[in-house]
Amino acid sequence: MASFPVFQLTEGEWTSSKFIEVLGLKIAPRLTSDPQLLCDFITNFQTRPDDVFVVTYPKSGTTWVQEIVWQIFNEGRVASDNILQRVPFLEAATSARFPQPDYNTLPSPRILKTHLTHNIIPKSGNEDSKCKYIYIARNPKDIAVSFFQFEKSMKVFGHGFNGPWEFFAKLFVEGNVGFNFWNDHVLGWWKHKDDPNVLFLKYEDLQKDLLSHVRMIANFLNKPLSDDLISRIAEQCTFSGMKKNAASYEIEKADEGKTSLLRKGEVGDWKNYFTPELNERFENEVLAKLKGSGLEFDFEI
């Protein structure tokens, strides 16, 4: 019988977000009212050969690449439907709070968002019918800031993080945030970067040259598009392009109202938050773990 420990740290008056551990990963309680059901759903998920998973550690550019992939499959159409309706979030599949599709009857190709680690993500047992995974990695300093701002803006349904930035940064370095340690997540996928069904991308590289990345993603998905269409999708998927369709990227907050999955969309916002001491901690405890892997990031462009 699997167990699902509930986890929340406190430090004086500060509290971390509350999590349920499902398959070893810290998952926000708003995503599932029944951890056993979620565990069974993930474990028994049957992939199709034409499934496309957009995979990230949170706040790495998931929404951005969900939109790019969706437009690639839809001839550059800009849809006003919410991105999570068009590209559903696997870990929310058993949520009672948010309406969820029936994954079995979703038409192919299914485009799916997930934050699952490589060891847990659904896979085909059959070599010839493997689905595709697009992994987007982002530098952890900007992720930590983006994650902090996101948790604050969500007010996380009564289970929320409550504390200042320095407390969140500490939780992040110690892996006490949703989906655990950043470095484990990213390195687990980096080991598979050369698998033919994995495309490993970096947020900062998309910022530097979006057009080439739209083309690269389209080719990876066997959807070669005209130069005109590639340019149009790249234009529509810049930060300012996506802002024009802002309602598509809004999600419900704990209290009244909505918050956006688009915030600043920049490389280097971390410099507005990091003290020299915190920077040293990230270098020594987070980035040092990448040493020897060949995985490197830009922290400004």
Query: Which residues carry out catalysis?
Result: 115
Token pair recorded at residue 173 = 């370095």
289 makes contact with ligand A3P (CB under 6 A):
no
The three-class DSSP label of residue 201 is strand
**Beta carbons of 233 and 71 less than 8 angstroms apart:** yes
Which of 16, 32, 47, 63 is close enough to bind ligand A3P by CB under 6 A? 63
- Residue 56: C-alpha distances to residues 45, 112, 154, 216 (Å): 19, 11, 19, 18
237 makes contact with ligand A3P (CB under 6 A):
yes
261 makes contact with ligand A3P (CB under 6 A):
yes
Residue with tokens 């990963």: 25
Distance CA 83, CA 230 (A): 20
Give the strand pairing for 14-15 and 250-252. unpaired
- Residue 273: C-alpha distances to residues 175, 270, 278 (Å): 19, 5, 9
Nearer to ligand A3P, 19 or 57 (CB): 57
Which of 56, 94, 180, 236 is close enough to bind ligand A3P by CB under 6 A? 56
142 makes contact with ligand A3P (CB under 6 A):
yes
**Beta carbons of 236 and 242 less than 8 angstroms apart:** yes
Q: Which stretch binds ligand A3P (CB under 6 A): 56-64, 152-160, 175-183, 185-193?
A: 56-64
267 makes contact with ligand A3P (CB under 6 A):
no
Distance CA 143, CA 58 (A): 8
269 makes contact with ligand A3P (CB under 6 A):
yes
Strand runs (DSSP E) across the chain, as ranges?
6-7, 10-11, 14-15, 19-22, 25-27, 52-56, 111-114, 132-137, 198-202, 250-252, 258-260
Give the strand pairing for 19-22 and 6-7. antiparallel
Which of 25, 28, 41, 61 is close enough to bind ligand A3P by CB under 6 A? 61
Which of 16, 32, 47, 60 is close enough to bind ligand A3P by CB under 6 A? 60
149 makes contact with ligand A3P (CB under 6 A):
yes
262 makes contact with ligand A3P (CB under 6 A):
yes
Nearer to ligand A3P, 39 or 156 (CB): 156
Which of 112, 233, 242, 278 is close enough to bind ligand A3P by CB under 6 A? 242
Quote the least distance from Cβ 248 to ligand A3P, whole Å. Answer: 11
Q: Which stretch binds ligand A3P (CB under 6 A): 42-50, 91-99, 165-173, 233-241?
A: 233-241
Which of 117, 146, 176, 183 is close enough to bind ligand A3P by CB under 6 A? 146
Residues that bind ligand A3P (CB under 6 A): 56, 58-64, 142, 146, 149, 237-239, 242, 261-265, 269
